[in-house]
């Protein structure tokens, strides 16, 4: 077995995400950022806003009911308990808990990987028997669309897995590898007036996932089923009733790195996924000629997947996770937009003007919002600062709520606090689109 390049191994790790972001935080404190000014004095206002959102929705005595940040909640959008309805149905059918967990892992896996930014136009319309049509957008819309794809067997090959009622609630490698873009477009309700960002990239991502699943039968079985990771983890864990986040992370990275677009960053000819060169890191170590020293990793979709997949193990199999503090905030436009909209981060004039000119060139200059590619140095620095600032806000919120006897995990803060607060402030400031204050050209595989 070929040993992985240690530099690549480090950049693929969770530790590298926070380590490198801390360096960017040090650059901010020293006034050495490339594109942003940081208004530290406004962090308290952000914490106040986040606490206000949390208390509004969960105070004074429901804090313990805050779920960890994950995909499960999105399937319940519109007040329809889609997952719970499935669980009741499977229980009535006598499906054992391990298989229930496998099925949820199957569903969450594909749904999360489809969950990059949908853009400001796309919407999903759901017809519910006996009720008015419901309209969803962004993450929730993609969740509902993927839910129907799953229960109708769009991610499984052949006839295997079909239940007595004709439903085939599983996912397998061959089904994903043969997924047609037109099928995805049909379920996402894509039309000329209802486009989604990165449709082809999303379909290609799932096809690549299918191929990668099939290449690892020791973990995902001969059929390349995502849910088979349940059996692998249960078989290989060394601590009864406890699974390791770090072990799970290595499994996910090994599976997903070959799946991401081929034009991503490489180090010594090895792909490193959602990790990008950053000028700020080069400024901090100008004498280094090693390009790996100047890379800021994020692995956002993989972390979103890890957060989401951990939940079925907890709720269905009553298992716990160790090393959860290795996971970081998610560096995406809702968490990051919170700090821009509330004035903690201010884009410098040169970067702002470049972004506005890019928007005008693309015909979207009327909004006045800057536009950048996902790998642009501005976006990479913004995402790194988002990691630093969420950790800072987590500390402030934790101290203030501790006085009331409330202790939240980072995953709970993301769910009930920063992510939700970022979405709400965007809706207040830009009610027409609810968009990010900085627009990212997403290919459907990053945000």
Percentage of the chain lying above the pLDDT 90 cut: 82
What is the pLDDT at residue 447?
61
What is the pLDDT at residue 4?
78
- pLDDT-derived band at 159 (thresholds 50, 70, 90) equals low
Average pLDDT, the chain: 92
- pLDDT-derived band at 436 (thresholds 50, 70, 90) equals very high
**Range list of β-strands (E), 187-311:** 242-244, 266-267, 270-271, 275-277, 295-297
Residue 311 pLDDT > 70? yes
Residue 47 pLDDT > 80? yes
Please tell me which of 168-172, 301-305, 381-385 the model is most confident about, judged by mean pLDDT.
381-385
Residue 165 pLDDT > 70? no
Token couple for 269: 């000819």
- Higher-pLDDT residue of 75 and 366 is 75
What is the pLDDT at residue 160?
45
Q: Are 54 and 400 in contact (CB under 8 A)?
A: no
The mean pLDDT of 333-340, rounded to a whole number, is 96
The mean pLDDT of 395-402, rounded to a whole number, is 96
Q: Are 170 and 220 in contact (CB under 8 A)?
A: no
| pLDDT tens for each residue of 289-305 | 899 999 999 999 899 99
| pLDDT tens for each residue of 115-124 | 877 788 899 9
Q: Are 274 and 297 in contact (CB under 8 A)?
A: yes
Residue 2 pLDDT > 60? no
The gap from C-alpha 364 to its chain's centroid, in whole angstroms, comes to: 26
Residue 424 pLDDT > 50? yes
| CB atoms inside a 10 Å sphere around CB 293 | 15
| CB atoms inside a 10 Å sphere around CB 96 | 10
The mean pLDDT of 195-219, rounded to a whole number, is 94
Token couple for 149: 């794809």
Please enumerate in sequence order all residues whose Cβ is within 8 A of that of 374, keeping only pairs 6 or more positions apart, or say none.
Answer: 440, 441, 442, 443, 446, 447
28: buried, middle or exposed (CB in 10 Å: 19+, 13-18, 0-12)? buried
Residue 166 pLDDT > 60? no
**pTM of this prediction?**
0.92
What is the pLDDT at residue 167?
61
Please enumerate in sequence order all residues whose Cβ is within 8 A of that of 229, keeping only pairs 6 or more positions apart, or say none.
Answer: 105, 219, 220, 248, 251
- Domains of the chain by residue range: 1-69+274-303+318-447, 70-236
- pLDDT-derived band at 380 (thresholds 50, 70, 90) equals very high
| CB atoms inside a 10 Å sphere around CB 84 | 12
């Amino acid at each position: 077995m070929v040993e992985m390049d240690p530099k690549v191994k480090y950049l693929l790790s969770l530790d590298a995400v926070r380590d490198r972001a801390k360096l960017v935080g040090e650059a901010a404190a020293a006034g050495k950022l490339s594109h942003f000014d940081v208004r530290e004095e406004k962090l308290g206002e952000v914490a106040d806003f986040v606490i206000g959102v949390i208390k509004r929705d969960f105070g004074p005595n429901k804090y313990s009911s805050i779920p960890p940040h994950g995909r499960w909640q999105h399937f319940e959008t519109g007040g329809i308990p889609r997952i719970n309805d499935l669980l009741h149905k499977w229980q009535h059918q006598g499906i054992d808990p391990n298989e229930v967990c496998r099925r949820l892992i199957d569903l969450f896996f594909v749904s999360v990987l489809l969950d990059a930014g949908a853009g400001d136009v796309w919407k999903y319309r759901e017809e519910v028997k006996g009720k008015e049509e419901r309209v969803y957008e962004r993450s929730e819309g993609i969740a509902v669309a993927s839910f129907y794809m799953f229960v109708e067997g769009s991610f499984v090959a052949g006839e295997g897995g079909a239940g007595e009622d004709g439903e085939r609630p599983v996912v397998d490698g061959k089904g994903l590898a043969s997924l047609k873009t037109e099928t995805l477009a049909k379920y996402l309700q894509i039309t000329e007036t209802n486009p989604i960002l990165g449709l082809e990239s999303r379909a290609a991502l799932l096809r690549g996932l299918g191929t990668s699943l099939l290449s690892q039968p020791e973990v995902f079985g001969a059929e390349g089923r995502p849910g088979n990771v349940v059996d692998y983890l249960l078989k290989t864990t060394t601590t009864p009733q406890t699974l390791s986040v770090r072990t799970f992370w290595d499994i996910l990275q090994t599976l997903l790195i070959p799946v991401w677009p081929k034009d991503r960053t490489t180090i010594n000819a090895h792909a490193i996924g959602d990790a990008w060169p950053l000028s700020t890191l080069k400024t901090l170590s100008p004498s280094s000629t090693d390009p790996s020293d100047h890379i800021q990793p994020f692995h956002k979709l993989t972390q979103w997947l890890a957060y989401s997949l951990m939940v079925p193990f907890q709720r269905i199999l009553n298992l716990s996770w160790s090393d959860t503090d290795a996971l970081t905030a998610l560096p995406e436009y809702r968490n990051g937009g919170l700090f821009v909209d509330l004035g903690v981060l201010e884009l410098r004039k040169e970067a702002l003007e470049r972004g506005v000119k890019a928007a005008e060139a693309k015909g979207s200059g009327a909004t006045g919002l800057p536009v950048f590619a996902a790998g642009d140095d501005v976006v990479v620095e913004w995402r790194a600062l988002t990691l630093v600032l969420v950790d800072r806000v987590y500390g402030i919120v934790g101290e203030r709520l501790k006085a009331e006897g409330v202790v939240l995990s980072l995953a709970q803060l993301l769910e009930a606090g920063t992510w939700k607060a970022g979405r709400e402030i965007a809706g207040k400031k830009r009610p027409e689109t609810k968009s990010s204050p900085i627009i990212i050209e997403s290919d459907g595989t990053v945000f």
